[in-house]
Chain A
Amino acid sequence: MENQTSLPLSLEEALGGIKRLFGGSSDLNIVRAEASGIKCALLTLEGMVSTATLSQALFEPLMRFKASGAKPNDLLKFLSSRAFFSTEVCVVNLYEEAVERLCSGFAVVLIHGCGRGVAVSAQGYKTRSVEAPDTEPNIKGTREALNDNIRTSMSVLRRRIKSPRLRFELLRAGRLSNIELCLVYIAGKTPKKLIDETRQGLKKIDSDLILTSGNVIPYMPRGNGEFFSGVSTTERPDVLCAKVNEGRIAVLIDGVPFAVICPSLFIENFQAVDDYAETPYFATYQRLIRFAAFFISWLLPGLYVAAAVFHPEVLSRSLLLNLIASEEKTPYPLTAEMLIVTVMFEILREAGIRLPRAVGGAVSIVGGLVIGDAAVTSGIISAPLLIIIGMTATSAFVIPGLNPQLTLLRLLNILVGGTLGFFGIAVLSAAVLVSACATDCFSVPYTAPLTPFTPRAMRDAVLKNRAGGQRFGSVEDLAGAKNGQGG
């Protein structure tokens, strides 16, 4: 194979080989030059290198190289060892190496009569600047999010943990994309076995492209979990730092502004960065509110339907009379009505996410005013039902991490509640509970420290302790984890 062969002595032949490998791609730039009579060529990919870096780190030293009777190897030696003020310089011997460096934003200098080249790190592609986290906003925490550029993300993390124990380990994955992945962990805190398992797993990635965190998650350390997952993502560097400090491992993906973290716990969906900036009492109250929102979002529509259809004795008399009065006017059975409105809400939510921001507001107007108000006025949907959906939808936004699960559970609950009453909701809840309890990652139970109960970690689970910060020494200390007490 051509891309496994060594670079030839002839510059023209080498350039021809590289051109063939790129198939005449328009973004391959070749600049021919001569230094002290030695022919050489500078290869770059359009938009991948910085002109300023190139002129400072490459052209200036190249022009200074003046040696009478110099041989090609002398130029190579000069370029690779003395000349460059670049972060990374290396000698390339193979076509494959040269191409890989070019694709990573290096400038490659090929020298006639040498059979080797020099790759200079001069990346200068345009990337997004460090912006505020979009999906995990906060009030008192940092306004910086992880970046699409893996190097920028690494620097954002390093600024928060200025210790040599914070380790970054670069790997490459993706048959075509050959994307950089970076393992992030703290030496001495993250179990070695977890690091090894993650490294081995990532090396097994056999996709052509890695475009989202979803391409990486299946290769994270093995765990159980069908409905819930012991692996999570974050775009917040402060959250990531806190989690690696608890002995977890994270994976940064070049081109993706989210880091994949494992193992993750159910309880973490109820914790926010702002909790650590508030007084313990208020933070505890906020967490309890989030728990309430979780149960409302999960159970309220199903319980409402089941109670109204099968168990009206549960509801207070005045509420029941109100319900009967408003339901009498609507044409559909309550269960169907609830399903229609829930699905409608999901459609509106999806539209709100996918639509451009400029027209996103129109969705709220259509949803809130046109559909909501008109549907109640025309008697298609009852007002109490819309209130229930409103409460549910608002509650669902409080716990974004569990949104996929809550959306499905809500629909299922309405179905079983409307057909089997509380009994249906009960058996479904039992199945969901057992499924959540069976979920783990790297043998750390997803439901810890609630069950199995770990008193020490509970200080920062539902209640927030005064000291704040670290919840426990390591996830391995949780009951039920590999090295902990059984169960």
Chain B
Amino acid sequence: MSGKRPEISPYQLMILLLTARIMHTMIFRFDGFSSGLPIMLGLIITTAVEGVLCLPAVLYYSRGGRSVTDDLGRFSKPAKLLYSAYFCVIAGGTAALFAQFLQKEFSDSVSPEAAIILLGLVAAFCASHGIEALARASSVIFWLFAVMFVWMAAVNEGRFDFLNIRPLIGDDVKTMLSYALESLSSAWWIPMLCVLGEHLGRGAAGAAYGFLALKLLIIETLLVLITLVLWKYIGVLGYPIYALGAYAKSGFIQRFDAINMLVWAINCAAVFGVYVFISSKPMEGKKSAPLLAAAVSTAIALYELHRGLRYNEPWLLWFKGAGIAVLGIAFPLAAMIRKNSRKAEEK
């Protein structure tokens, strides 16, 4: 972004990545939850690996890179299209899984198809206001989530039971590795960093590693709560954060289910908006770009909903993993090499 003032700060980029990750955790469904410890360890391994995988993107922006796609020369346009397509699928999947959640838990209030279409429209509206507005809004949403999370944890009806922790056994290593791999395939924050880094001035490293630290803290806290408090409930409800709310009770609010959904839906609309913003970048400058990107993502979401998309589908894990490898690692690496060689030539 030469000559342009940075549109977002490292803190805001970190929050954008974090809200996207929280959305991902919200719609994550534990099928056959066995033990918390292997998953907690798996998450630590994943976070460490992610810290290494994001290095090309972090180094690219820390060393004065302006835009990964622009520095790819003649591959710039295809790269932009690839990013766009990837995030259309991610947005579609996120909306479809959220609609499934609504279908399961709140079937009375809104049909999943209507929810997806409405989310698509709001996402287009949000994306049309640009990344600055989305980043500012996400900061508010993050703190809203944090307050809700702490409140729900504080008034939860569940009781700590250390008997829920059992020593690791041989099979747990397999569970740990499988969870680590699964979690790794959800690291599309690295391609997000590659795209959104161009709106940032300095501080890509701070944003990336700050995100990793906070993500680890939030999810590990959730896992501690799941393991020690919500052990029995997770099997019934599936969604971990939802389970945290379902068994919370205050004098003022009888049950937090719907409050949970309210915050999730706000976050989903904002995160969907960020994905649509990224997807509309190849058509940057055109007024209809966010609407087109949102339409494509909505269509994908509706298709996935009717196909019965599952969170852990193998093709999806491969797709997400391949995206991370190509868009999150290979492209920034190539951009960095190309930029360095051009600099050397100039010298």
Contact = CB atoms under 8 A, between A and B. Distances in A.
B6 to A, nearest CB: 3
Nearest to A426: B265
Interface string A273-317: 000000000000000000000000000000000110011011111
A433 B140 contact: yes
A427 B119 contact: yes
Interface in A315-343: 315-317, 320
Interface stretch (B21-29, B157-165, B216-224, B251-259): B251-259
Contact of A487 (B115, B125, B136, B263): B136
A307 B9 CA distance: 38
A424 B265 CA distance: 9
Given A311-B257, A435-B129, A486-B9, A430 B122 contact: yes
A455 to B, nearest CB: 11
A445 B136 contact: yes
Contacts of B262: 422-423, 425-426
A436 B133 CA distance: 8
A431 interface: yes
Nearest to B135: A487
A453 interface: yes
Contact of B7 (A424, A425, A435, A486): A486
B237 to A, nearest CB: 14
Interface stretch (A397-405, A456-464, A477-485): A477-485
A28 interface: no
Contacts of A242: none
Interface in A416-434: 420-427, 429-431, 433-434
B5 A438 contact: no
A412 B7 CA distance: 31
Given A314-B258, A316-B251, A434 B12 contact: no
A450 interface: yes
A18 to B, nearest CB: 54
B278 to A, nearest CB: 16
Contacts of A431: 122, 125-126, 269
A433 B135 CA distance: 11
B129 A438 contact: yes
Given A316-B251, A434-B134, A486 B106 contact: no
A485 B6 CA distance: 7
Given A434-B270, A453-B11, A486-B5, A423 B261 contact: yes
> Max chain A CB contacts within 10 Å: which of B129, B133, B261?
B133
A430 B106 contact: no
A450 B137 CA distance: 10
A255 interface: no
> Max chain A CB contacts within 10 Å: which of B9, B114, B261?
B9
A437 interface: yes
B266 interface: yes
B238 interface: no
Nearest to A479: B9
Nearest to A486: B6
Interface string A120-159: 0000000000000000000000000000000000000000
A352 interface: no
Contacts of B200: 486
B118 interface: yes
B269 A427 contact: yes
B109 interface: yes
A451 interface: yes
Contacts of B273: 430, 434
A314 B270 contact: no
Contact of A451 (B118, B140, B252): B140
Q: For this complex, into which size category does the number of interface residues on chain B fall?
A: 35 or more
Contact of A423 (B110, B126, B129): B110
The secondary-structure label for the interface of chain B is helix
A479 B254 CA distance: 40
Given A422-B109, A430-B270, A487-B9, A438 B132 contact: yes
Given A316-B251, A430-B137, A423 B115 contact: yes
B68 to A, nearest CB: 18
B137 A451 contact: yes
B175 interface: no
B191 interface: no
B108 interface: yes
Nearest to A421: B109
B258 A307 contact: yes
A294 B305 CA distance: 38
Contacts of A447: 136
Contact of A427 (B9, B11, B118, B251): B118
A426 B266 contact: yes
A423 B109 contact: yes
B254 A421 contact: no
Nearest to A436: B137
A482 B4 CA distance: 11
A422 B258 contact: yes
B259 A314 contact: yes
Contacts of A317: 254
Given A311-B258, A317-B254, A487-B135, A422 B6 contact: no
A452 interface: yes
Nearest to A437: B136
B130 interface: yes
B19 to A, nearest CB: 11
A437 B265 contact: no
B137 A452 contact: no
B126 A430 contact: yes
Contacts of B269: 426-427, 430-431
B141 interface: yes
A451 B251 CA distance: 32
A422 B139 contact: no
Contacts of B264: 426
B132 A480 contact: yes
> Max chain A CB contacts within 10 Å: which of B129, B257, B273?
B129
B125 A423 contact: no
B240 interface: no
Interface string B117-159: 0110010011001101111110111000000000000000000
19 contacts: A314-B254, A420-B118, A421-B106, A422-B258, A426-B266, A427-B118, A427-B265, A433-B270, A434-B137, A434-B270, A435-B129, A435-B133, A438-B132, A451-B140, A452-B12, A480-B132, A487-B7, A487-B12, A487-B132
5 A-B pairs with the lowest CB-CB distances in the bound complex, closest first? A486-B6, A421-B109, A426-B265, A438-B133, A430-B269
Given A310-B258, A431-B269, A434-B273, 15 more contacts: A310-B106, A420-B109, A421-B108, A423-B115, A426-B261, A430-B270, A431-B125, A431-B126, A433-B270, A437-B129, A437-B137, A480-B136, A485-B6, A486-B8, A487-B136
Interface of A: 224, 306-307, 310-311, 313-317, 320, 420-427, 429-431, 433-438, 445, 447, 450-453, 479-480, 482, 485-487
Interface of B: 5-9, 11-12, 102, 106, 108-110, 114-115, 118-119, 122, 125-126, 129-130, 132-137, 139-141, 200-201, 251-259, 261-266, 269-270, 273
